[in-house]
Chains A and B, each alone.
Chain A
Amino acid sequence: MTTAAYSVQTENSAASIGARPAGIFRDLSSIAGRALRAVPRDVTSVVPPVFIALFFFVVNIATLKKVTSGIPHFNYTSFEIATAILLGVTGVSRAPALVLDIQSKYFDRLLLTPVRRTAILVGHMVADVSVAAVLTVPILVLGFILGVRFHGGPLGVLGFIVLSSLWSLAFAGFGYAIALKTGNPAAVNSTFLLFFPFLFLTSSYVPRSQLSGWLSTVAKFNPVTYLLGGLRSLEVGGGAVWVPLGQALLAVVIVALISMTLCFAALRGRVKRS
């Protein structure tokens, strides 16, 4: 594609300033930058998830620590922090903001520019991953205060944050799919219908070995079970990490494949000109 600039000469402009294709990285950074700037102006999108995560972290420890004290070599606080992190980052996305863009026609303004259509979506996702990574920090800090230790060291902490953020992105894909397909804020909020089975029909509160009956069976097929396993293995560290970590990554990839297929199909439908 040509990089020549096109413009009309203005009397006020000494030199010609005109449009040119911006390039994929500039498109992405522009869209992501805008999405990130909006976060502190829309704190209601990030404060409640962190509050809920911190609240349940503390309450669950108080409720279940004694109950699980009989399990050998088991520290409930360390066990529970993975659940707290997922409660904090699952469902955090700019999908509701994208719906507002569609409703306010700002989305059309973006489509009128030469920006790559995929960059509109991926730019928001880049922002989401960044926000999710930041949201893990206060939960981790509380965990450290309550005695959680990462035997895998700083790399283990980093892996923990990265894996949690990737999961956040994989789950966010469902929100974007609904946002782009419907353009309806209420419909986007319905992603909580996925949130509950993912986060609660699994080993969120007790080890998988303690689950029984149908819940144990469901947990076996719930990708979050393996994600939690991978996150918890990063706390333990050592050579035993790789298998659960691989399973966790595979679980995230499978969910991401489904959600991204849906949301990119929805994007194609939204920007289709026919």
Chain B
Amino acid sequence: MIEEEMTDNCEASFQTQRRSNEASGHDAIVTHDLERHFGDVRAVNGVNIQIPKGEIYGFLGPNGAGKSTIVHMLCTLLAPTGGRATVAGFDVESNPGKVRLRIGVALQEAALDPKQTGVELLSLQGRLYGLRRREIQRRVSELAEMIDLGDFLGRLIGTYSGGMKRRLDLAAALIHNPEIVFLDEPTTGLDPVSRLQVWSEVRRLNQELGITIFLTTQYLEEADELAHRVGIIDEGRIVAEGTPTDLKKAVGSDLILVRVEGDTAEAVAVLANVPGVQNVEAHAGELVITTSTGSATISPVAVALAGTSVVVRELTLRTPTLDDVFLELTGTHIERSESLEESS
């Protein structure tokens, strides 16, 4: 029955929920071996996450990695096929109504009605969340200031730019002062200025209002800038989790990247013996050299490569990024796996 989702559960269910809350220590989001299959396809395959209240958790991975599927399950739009998840202390499968009261969601595409004005859309959202008229007026006024749409808030949404729609979508997710906000790739398709505005707002929501934020992104810089902790997902599994700094430290303090043509196996063997080099890997015409002393090691590396048969096209020294973490763990770049998916 459709309405059953909105009804209270029996006492047994309540007790189970209570135990769950105690077990999770009132974490904002907890998943245990969460799975979602679509036929034979395992979109999400045994994901375990524990996100304390007040954290910005960045969920990083290429398109098709399972990020949005997890968000849809945590937001109660999709039921898990295995494992379990609690959001704000309530099981997403057995108690979706209570979860919905406590979360705000901005999905990947701004889910707006072009035939309503911004004010009408926010007011309707407020009504559906049970806010009273005065409360709605107050929240619309607060959010109008936050998203800075000016007179456009009274105009039809169909006349908005992409950035304005994103900001309104974010406001719609916040109308009821949620405990937890899910932002599914909130800056995809935005221009750099709008992206910075969204970043600034995400930080403010977290720092000033204490809102827990679950942020999925395919942009490394975004996860690096915003997230307290990052979970890296690939093919439905979490392959690494930690603070951006810790994850990057695990790769090494400096990276020397060399684009080459020729026998990379020979180059790897030679570079492994260069003083200061900690690790050398070859990935599709690129040598990734890990070192703790990049500026001191780059010259010996160049000299060593000159003595091999490979032709050096480009040689770069930089600190590791989250993409390097992804590369280390999966053997491919996030951007590269995206373009492969798009071409397929």
A binding-site residues for B, Cβ under 8 Å = 1-2, 5-13, 16-23, 26-27, 30, 33-34, 37-38, 41-42, 97, 101, 104-106, 108-118, 267-268, 271, 273-274
Contact = CB atoms under 8 A, between A and B. Distances in A.
A101 B76 CA distance: 19
Contacts of A17: 131, 135, 138-139, 176-177
18 contacts: A1-B6, A10-B142, A17-B138, A19-B177, A19-B178, A30-B127, A34-B116, A37-B120, A97-B115, A101-B113, A104-B112, A105-B107, A109-B112, A109-B172, A112-B75, A113-B125, A115-B128, A117-B5
Nearest to B135: A17
A177 B168 CA distance: 31
Given A19-B101, A22-B127, A104 B114 contact: yes
A22 B175 CA distance: 14
Contacts of B65: none
Interface of B: 2-3, 5-8, 75-79, 81, 88, 96-97, 100-103, 105, 107, 109, 111-116, 120, 124-125, 127-131, 135, 138-139, 142, 156, 172, 176-179, 208-211
Contacts of A10: 142, 177, 208-209
A38 B115 contact: yes
B3 A8 contact: no
Given A13-B138, A30-B124, A104-B112, A117 B2 contact: yes
Ranked 8 nearest A-B pairs via Cβ: A20-B130, A19-B176, A7-B177, A105-B111, A22-B130, A109-B111, A273-B79, A19-B129
Nearest to A121: B2
A117 B76 contact: no
Contacts of B2: 116-118, 267-268, 271
Contact of B130 (A8, A21, A37): A21
Contacts of B177: 7-8, 10, 13, 16-19
B116 A37 contact: yes
Given A13-B138, A104-B112, A267-B2, A114 B79 contact: no
Residue from A1, A18, A26, A117 with most neighbouring chain B CB atoms (10 Å): A18
Nearest to A5: B130
Contacts of B6: 1, 21, 114, 116
Given A17-B176, A34-B120, A108 B77 contact: yes
Nearest to A111: B77
A30 B125 CA distance: 9
A68 B125 CA distance: 56
